Amino acid sequence: MAVADIDEILAVGQQYNNVIKADGIAALAQALNCDEAALSATLDGVETSYYAVACTSYAYGTVGGLDVDANMNVLREDGTPIPNLFAVGQDSEGVCNVDGKAYTPWGGQAQSWTFVSGQIAGEQAAQLTREE
């Protein structure tokens, strides 16, 4: 679906230096500080007006509200672990933004926390199965 007011949106982006408008490949290459020949090849040599938009990816998600210990065990309100119940990733960030608690903040770090916490919980779960 076409965005009816795309020109207005791009103009606002230009005001904040998040959008670059360039009339042609040479101007775009200069604005981006890149090799003009390589850019021309990428754009099949098509001469027109171009917009370059600065983008950043973010991962947004809810924080599940579950508090965990160092082994990723879910904790009861009294702080004792619930046997065989683990939480990882953003579900284990229940204490985010609570002073004095060392949990990972938002964005990309939250995504890396998914891998780290998953590994910790997996190791703990595997150890439990070996003990039984």
Q: Which residues lie closer than 8 Å to 121 by C-beta, 6 or more apart? A: 71, 72, 86, 87, 88
Separation of alpha carbons 109 and 127, rounded Å: 27
pTM over 0.75: no
CA distances from 68 to 23, 54, 78, 96, 127 (A): 55, 37, 12, 11, 18
CA distances from 26 to 13, 20, 43, 50, 53 (A): 21, 13, 11, 11, 17
pLDDT-derived band at 64 (thresholds 50, 70, 90) equals low
39 vs 91, which has greater pLDDT? Answer: 39
Separation of alpha carbons 29 and 24, rounded Å: 9
Structure token digits, residue 43: 């754009």
pLDDT-derived band at 66 (thresholds 50, 70, 90) equals confident
Q: Which residues lie closer than 8 Å to 57 by C-beta, 6 or more apart? A: none
- Summarised one tens digit per residue, pLDDT across range 80-117 is 999 999 988 877 776 555 555 555 555 566 677 788 88
Separation of alpha carbons 87 and 74, rounded Å: 6
Structure token digits, residue 110: 């939250």
List the domain boundaries for the chain. Answer: 6-53, 73-131
